[in-house]
Each structure stands twice: as structure tokens, then as C-alpha cells.
Structure 1
């Protein structure tokens, strides 16, 4: 893990900064035209995925400088320290051992704790065995609803990493089959929860409460509503048969009425946004089947093995981290778009937003000093081809250059072959259009050839010009099965952690989440009582207006 102040004084950083100042550093069109073997030279494979860097400005010299920066920052050593269970989460003095969650039982992972070293692999697999037994019991009918009938629905109540990952994966793998109908509610807004409860039968619904601390305000507010909903239908004495918790706070789960054999825990070396592989993923297994969940873990483990062993020049997470850093830090690109050309991945951008921006949206380095360069960009996205009819205009002709990851799935799970061919054609064409663009001369000539008079063609030419040289990185999955989805998500997890290590920041804390939660206690009290004395004038004015409007 690098020191940000010393890294920017290093020779690789200086070379990259000088390169970034040259306008030719961003030239993609010229590189594409000059090199017919560009795809072969700048695409890489690993863990079943293919990544294509050929439609960026990457060339041999830039790659060498980026790899030298990775060496100077100690990125390979950082990955080894993380996998060894060291305290890579320095501010909280914790390991970040999510890789152990998907490793085989025999992997022997250990985590450093305040009391010494813990057998992480043993702890994880003991809990996985309990989860497997519970999922098997629900699916076989040996674990039933209070009336003796099988469960038909699972409702997951969690927020952030306790919602985004499981919801995204469950939706993405819907084609693998439905064992239980799964619903996810993260927002405390009653408009999220009320309609879900209206559509579910409490007598056939299993409610999962996903909160490590079992104190997360939004989740516990929703859990209290769900508990009342169950009690009204089933009676207080029977609601425990319809509840399970993904938590480490056994005293709180006891008080809530959840039997201890239905509480599934995980350690503090599992961060929320890295936790879908843990008991937080129980809803995935209940909805899609244990075999699907196990295959998801195996795919992530395959990418872990690649990340830890592949040489830097062929290491997918490292190369992706370096190119994203080139775009964000050296070229100053303020955002990047995640564009999955598969509707089943519609929730992937939201998951990636949390992973990227909660991890790396940091302004100080590990020593507490302000960082003097851009770190995490804004992440946004939508599935293709929808994006082409919404914000695609900005990507092509806007004043800001926004890099994009184009995620393609080669083989669909439907029989509509013509549709899929059109989808892939558009994905390929978008990358080409963003890279190559169209000059004003080309635009005018094309207009003139269509029969428009020369004066009108010249008038329209600037509006039909595309600057090009806008980078895209292609990520190709053979198909969207659990294994390759696991590899894709692990790829991004490692990419984010490696960028943080390069920048010298901590990817595993989230202090920025805390201040708003703390202040919400005061604003909630003011909304309830009308006493705004402790609030700043603007917030006090807002509270007064809201109380007046809500009556």
C-alpha cells in the first residue's frame, strides 16, 4: 500500500503526469487506425472473462509506465497482505478478508484480530454449513411456515451492502430458476415497504433481517413493521418461525424473537459492500438454490486466484485498476459509465456505485493528509441499448470525456437470436463510435452525398461532428451464469481495492456515512417535537416548513 505523498514524487508518476499533459495521450482514433492487431495486443483473459483495452489510448509505453507505477505502489504486495488477513483497514484496525468467503474449506485463511489470529476459513465454512442446512430445509419442506406449509416468498430487509448485492445477483440470475419468490426492501421510505407487504401473504413469507449490528435505523424500522405484519396474521407466538437474521448481535436478535438457529453471523473483517458472499447472500441461495450460490462463490474464487497469481501484465483486476486510474487521476475524467448490455444486469451499476464510491470516495490518505489528486470518479450507468436513447448523447458529444465499461454477454438464455445479435451489434458499434468519432469534414461530405446542398451541409456539419477519442473498456462474459457473474463481481472488488492501495487511501472504511446518520437523530427529534433550537438556521427552517406541510 503506497504513501500518496511519496508516490507522486516517484519516477513512474512523473512520467505519467508528463504523458497526460500531451494531447496525444488521449488519442484513440489514430492508434486504432495505425494498428490492425490492436485487439490482440491489448485484450486479456482470465477466470473465464475477456477484457478489451484496445479502444482506450493504451499503448506499449503507457502500459510500461502504469506497470512501473503499480510496482512503485506495491500493489502485488498489497494483495498478498490483504489475502494474508493483515490489517489493511488501518483506521478500524481490521482485516478485509472477503476473498476467504468464497475460498474452499481447505484454503486455510487466517484473519488478524485484536486478540490475535482467527481461523477465518473454519469460521466461514461453519457458517456456510449452517446456511446450507437451512436452505435445504426450506426447499425440502422440513423447515416450514407456522401453518406447516412450505414457504413461497423470502423478503430481505437490509440497506447498502445488505441489499444492493443480494438484490442485484438475485435479479441477474432469475433465469436459473425460482425456488422462492424474492423481494428486497432497502429504503426506509414506506412507499418501498408497504406495497411489497400488500402483495405478499405473511403465512407463506420468510423475512430476513440483514444488519450486522442489528441497530441500523432504516433496516430496524422496516423490520418492526414487518414483525407487526406477521404478528397480525400469525399471532405473536408464531412469528419466530417466519424470521431469520443476518447479524452478529445475538442479544438484539433474541429480543426481537428470532431463534438462535436462524441467526447467521459474519465477522467484522467482512465489510458490508463486500459481503454478498457471506450470510448476507442467504436470500440469493433461498431464491435461486444452493447450487447457484455455490457456483457464484466458485466463480469469485477463480478471479481471486487469478488476481493473486497472474503476472501484472496479464492481471485483469490490476490492468483495469491502472486504466481506470489513468482516466480518473491523470486525465482528470470526473466520472465513468457502467453499461451492461444485458437487461439482467440492470442493478449492476447501483452495486458498483456503492462499491466504488463508498470505498474510494476519500479525501485524505492513510496518514490523514489531504490527497492532492483526484481519486474515485462518479459512477453511473444503465443497461444498453436504453442508454443510447438517454445519456448516450452526452457520452458522444458532451464537453466532458466520460470513459465507459461496456459489459457484454456472448450467449443469451433465450431463443431470440436476432434480438441478441442486434444487442451485441449496438454494443460493438457504440465502442467504435466513441473511439473513432466523425470529423466535421466527414460529416459535411456524408450530408452532401445524401443530396443536401453544400451550404446546408456546411451549416449542419458542426452539429453532426463527433470528437471521438472517448475510451471504452469491453468486458465479455461467455454467458451470464453464476460462475461468470461471480468472477465479474470479484474483478471489480479487486479493482477498487487496488486503486485504493495505489492512491494510499483506505477502501474499507466509510466514515462519510456516519455524520449524516448522527445528525438525523436531531432532525428526527425536531420533526417530532418542533424544537429546532439545536439545529442550524437552514435545517431549522426546513423542519418548520415540513411540519407545517405534514400537519
Structure 2
């Protein structure tokens, strides 16, 4: 990949000048001067999804200049490098090939002289066969009973991804009960123990290295809990599955080699749900639906790889995000799914984006002087409307928002969905166009309220509007469409990181806290002297020990 400092490109300077020209223009004006604005700034994907980005503070000239930035930083070369299996994760000397996990054709992708597609398809076949046994009741526990509950133990991408997908695709769920444990807080695992029967529970331990502290602490506690009931370690084979690349560590834990579903070093944790880490997804919705999920993502991969930038959905959304973060100096982006099943989508992409692009050192090893990853947050609508939308409408922050909604609901309950979509459409319109003093004066209901002094409260009701949004309407949340949506955002994150000259696929900032925690644990566990630490940490440790 090229290591180009975007700040020193001609296109970046052009964008700075363009920003001065456009920064005070209201969305009302942009819509008033162009009746074709929606057609110019919206794209359909496979007749299943519509992405409307017309309610952004952009013009055709903005998009042109942003695409110039993509071209000047050699984005096309970067995309080619990832899809070709080049080791673009330079600090760990790894390829980045989650795109290969959903490419189930005969196409070759060579990594270290090996066609990884062969290995991928072998593992997929193993997951298919295993899931069939469990779902059909042929896989028995130690007492001869069929499995009824699946407990996925992981953290980060090994938890957030599978959990998010199984929740989003709950309408496709079979009879198996799914549980996800991630937190090292014993409460998380203890609460699951209360719900499951050891005779009919299967544990999936998801850890690439099989050394992750939180995951292995929970895994060992689960093993101890199970051994209390069946005493014989040989029965572990019936109840423990490993999703890992570290065969040696898995065997030391006591899991049979036949129960290992591998994945590879070129699979990043936050992009691992497409790999064997997605076994819980398969056990929840069946392998056939998982194949459709992969196919949807692969379709978006092809769109991203083949489509010109001016019609390329992930590229355009990434460029618009860079536009706000670095020129309007917005600090956050809200992800607002108007679908209760997708309630974990913001949390998943909070990790995917912030762990990928939360960096301050560029690919040249230099300190960065521009803004990189935004803060990602959000909640399902309409809950958020009665919580934080107030700040978006009338606060002092510019917060670009992505609104996501299905057209067809899985649950046709009265007029619920019609009202939900009405709120979806109303909020994006209100954020864009606002409510002026003149609008309020025309509101007859407002004028008829004789119990209030209109002049005193008028200013409090004004909403300036001009708040940017993307609207993503999806025909229905199916496995295929969810796969496409997730892949869209994955590629958006890649484009943001590439143009901003980041290594998006490492996460060294996560390591420092882990190492410190190990040292502190040793002090707490052995009750040793803690003078090594700062006075604040010493004081906290002393207070903890007083009650522990």
C-alpha cells in the first residue's frame, strides 16, 4: 500500500477551500436549487437496498473533490492489495482476507504459496456437518441427551459479531437456545449457568490464540462447572468446541482435536464472524441461511471491488465521513437502526470502526495532525428519539447519522411498522430542514394555545436543521441483506483508514491495559507491596483491599 499523507495532497487543499465556500449553505437551499438531488445522491444495491445520501452537506463538486482525494491517495491500489492477499497489516506482517471467507467459488487467493480457498471450504464443510448433527439432535451430551443450549464464550469480535448477527436474524432461528458470555465479570457467566442444564449444553470457546484472558478465564470456569456434574474429563468431548488457530493450547485445555474449528492469522478478530467464529450463527439459523449470509457479503465485496468510485457505496460513505470528521470537525457518528432485531448493530460497528481507525500514528510511523476515526454510537429507533435526539436536533454538536430500516417487518403487528417507518422518515426530514420561527408562527395549534406567552418560548422551539443523515432502506432483514449491510460498513472502514494513511487492522492500543492488568492482578492476588504504582492507583488498591 502507498503511504501518502492525505493532508499534503492537492485534493485535500482543494477540499479546504471548498469547505469555506459551502460550510454555511443550508440543506434547504441545496434541495431548493436542484429537483434531481435525490437521483444524484442515492444508489440502489441489487434491488434490495437503497442508500440515500442526499441529506448531506455536499454538492456534486464536493463529491468530485472527495473522489479526487481517493484517487490521489491511490485507493484503487489499496483495494487491489487487500483483495490480492498482500500483507497490508504491516505491523503484524499479515494479509487481511475476511473477503475470502465469503468467496465460496473456485477463485484462487494465494497466501504464502497456499490457495486459502481450499482450506476455507474444508472448514465450511466441517461446520456444515457438525451443525447438522447438533440441530438434528444427533450430537448427544454426556448423559445421552440432545443439545438444547449453545454458550459462545469469546470477547471483542468473537462475541460482538456472532451475537449481533444471531439477534438480527432471530426470525430465522431454530429451537436451540443461544447464550453469549464475554465479560470477565463472573456475573455474566453465573447468570448463564442459572439458565442452562449441563447435560444439554454445548460450549463454544472462541479465541484465535486461546490465551485471551477474559475468554480463557470464562472457559476454565465453564469446564470446572461441567466437571462438577460428570466428573470424567473424557466427557469434555461432548460439550466443548474450540474456534481457534492455536491447536497446541486447545489440546492443553483438554478439547479433542476433532472438536477444533480453525481460522487463520489473516482473519482479524473484529472481522471473524465470517469464519469458524460464526459457528454459533450457523447453529442458530442453519447452514443454508449462513450460506445466504456469506453470499450477501460477497455481492457487496464485488460491488466494492468493481464499481467506479462515483457509484461505489462504501467509498462514498467513507469519503462523506472523512468530509465531516476533518472539515466540519464533527467528532461522532450515530448509527440508528429502526429495527429491534438489530439492536446490537451500533455496538458491533463501534468496535469495528474505533478499534480499526482509532489511531494517531500513520503508516510512515509519524504523528498524525488531522482527525482519524470518529466515535461511533447509537441505539435502535424509536428509543433514541426519547433520549439523545434532543441533542442532535438542538445541541451544539454536528452529529452525522445513519438511519437504517427494513421496509418489510418480520412481525406484522397492527400499525406498528407503519408508525416506525413514519418516525424514520420524519426524523431525517426534521434533522435536515428544521423548524424556523416562520414555521412556528404558521402552526395554528401553537397559536391557539392561549395559556402560554408565545414570544417567551418561541426561541426554545426553533430547530436549525442542516443536520446531515444517510438513509438506508432495506427490503427486508434477510441473511443475504444483512451480509451485504455488514460488508458495506466493513469496506467503509477500510476506505477511511486507507485514505487517512492508517494501519486499520492492528490494535496495539488494546495491549497496554492487558499487560498492566496482569501485573496488578499479581499484586492483588499475592497481597504484595504496590509502591510500584502511582499514588492514585495505590489509593484505589488500598481501598479495594480494605473491603475484599
| TM-score bracket relative to the smaller structure | over 0.9
Moved more, 521-530 or 376-385: 521-530
Aligned partners of 2:30 and 2:347: how far apart in 1? 33
Residues 357, 497 of structure 2: 8 Å contact kept: yes
1:125 to 113, 117, 121: 121
Decide whether aligned partners of structure 1 residues 346 and 250 sit closer, same or farther in structure 2, where only a CA change above 3 A counts: same
Q: In the alignment, which residue of structure 2 is the partner of 1:463?
A: 460
User: Which residue of structure 1 lines up, in the alignment, with residue 270 of structure 2?
Assistant: 273
- Aligned partner of 1:512 in structure 2 is 509
CA distance in 2, matches of 1:44, 1:170: 28
Partner secondary structure for residue 289 of structure 2: helix
Q: Is the 8 A contact 1:179 1:288 kept in 2?
A: no
1:535 equivalent among 528, 533, 536:
533
Deviation at 1:80, TM superposition (A): 1.1
Contact 1:138 1:151 in 2 (8 A): yes
**Match for 2:419 among 419, 422, 436?**
422
- TM superposition outliers: structure 1 runs of 4+ over 6 Å: none
Displacement of 1:22 in angstroms is: 3.6
Q: For structure 1, which runs of at least 5 residues remain unmatched after alignment? A: none
Greater mean alpha carbon deviation, residues 42-51 or residues 330-339: 42-51
Counterpart for residue 351 of structure 1: 348
> 1:455: how far off?
9.0
Report the alpha carbon displacement of residue 93 of structure 1 after superposing the two structures with TM: 1.2
Give the CA deviation at 1:273.
0.2
1:276-425 superposed matches below 5 A: 276-425=273-422
In the alignment, structure 1 residue 434 sits paired with structure 2 residue 431: yes
Which piece of structure 1 moves more, 35-44 or 166-175? 35-44
- 1 CA distance for matches of 2:530 and 2:249? 32
Per mean C-alpha deviation after superposition, the further-off stretch among 7-16 and 374-383 is 7-16
Q: Which residue of 2 aligns with 1:443?
A: 440
Aligned pairs, how many? 545
Q: Which moved more, 1:434-443 or 1:361-370?
A: 434-443
Structure 2 equivalent of residue 177 of structure 1: 173
Any idea what the Cα deviations from partners look like across 1:449-507, whole Å, max 9, x if unmatched?
52246992221111001011000001111100000000000000000001100000011
Separation (CA, whole Å) in 2 of partners of 1:326 and 1:193: 43
Match of 1:549 in 2: 547
Asked if 1 retains the 8 angstrom alpha-carbon contact of 2:3 and 2:363, the reply is yes
TM-score under structure 1 length normalisation: 0.96
Residue 313 of structure 1 deviates from its aligned partner by 0.9
**Matched position secondary structure for 2:403:** strand
Give the Å deviation of 1:26: 5.5
Q: Tell me which residue corresponds to 2:213.
A: 217
**8 Å CA contact 1:345, 1:383 repeated in 2:** yes
Instruction: Give unpaired runs (5+ residues) of structure 2.
Output: none
**Conservation of the 8 A alpha-carbon contact between 1:321 and 1:498:** yes
Q: Distance in 2 between matches of 1:356 and 1:321?
A: 11
My pick for the range that moved more, 450-459 or 409-418, is 450-459
Q: Give the alignment of 1:67-106 within 5 angstroms.
A: 67-106=67-106
Query: Is the CA contact 2:149–2:176 (under 8 Å) kept in the aligned structure 1?
Result: yes
Contact 2:178–2:284 at 8 Å: present in 1 too? yes
- Distance across 1 between alignment mates of 2:318 and 2:354: 14
Comparing 224-233 and 434-443, the one that deviates more: 434-443
Superposed CA deviations along residues 217-244 of structure 1, whole A, max 9, x for unmatched, are: 0000100110011111122331221000
Work out the CA distance in 2 between the residues paired with 1:23 and 1:299.
37
Structure 1 pair 447–361 and aligned structure 2 pair: CA distance change class (3 A): farther
Displacement of 1:536 in angstroms is: 1.9
Match in the other structure for 1:9: 8
Q: 1:151 aligns with which of 142, 147, 150?
A: 147
Q: Give the Cα–Cα distance (whole angstroms) in 2 for the partners of residues 511 and 368 of structure 1.
A: 13
Contact 1:444/1:460, CA 8 A, preserved across alignment: no
The 1-side partners of 2:359 and 2:446 are apart by 52
Residue 534 (structure 1) shift: 2.0
SS of 2:502's equivalent?
Answer: coil
Q: Secondary structure at the match of 2:113?
A: strand
TM-score of the superposition, structure 2-length normalised? 0.97
Provide the secondary structure at the position in 2 that maps to 1:163. Answer: helix
| Contact 2:245 2:265 (8 Å CA) reproduced | no
Deviation for aligned residue 1:25: 5.5
1:117 positional shift: 2.8
CA distance in 2, matches of 1:417, 1:277: 36
Given that 2:447 and 2:454 are in contact with CA atoms closer than 8 Å, whether structure 1 keeps it comes out as: no
Q: Does 1:59 align with 2:59?
A: yes
Deviation of 1:440 (Å): 2.9
Q: Is residue 7–residue 370 contact of structure 2 (8 Å, CA) maintained in 1?
A: no
Q: Give the stretch that moved more between structures: 46-55 or 125-134.
A: 46-55
CA distance in 2, matches of 1:512, 1:288: 35
Paired residue secondary structure (2:360): coil
Q: Is the 8 A contact 2:361 2:502 kept in 1?
A: yes
Counterpart contact for 1:299–1:483, Cα < 8 Å = yes
Using a 3 Å threshold, how does the CA distance of structure 1 residues 346 and 26 change in structure 2: closer, same or farther?
farther
Maintained 8 Å contact 2:82/2:96: yes
> In the alignment, what sits opposite 2:50?
50
Shift of the 105–261 alpha-carbon distance from structure 1 to 2, 3 Å rule, reads farther
In structure 2, C-alpha distance between the alignment counterparts of 1:50 and 1:448, rounded to whole Å = 36
Cα distance between partner residues in 1 of 2:528 and 2:264: 41
The answer to whether the 8 A contact 1:444-1:457 is kept is: no
Distance 2:456 2:34 in 1: 34
Residues 417 and 411 from structure 1, CA distance in 2 versus in 1: closer, same or farther, beyond 3 angstroms?
farther
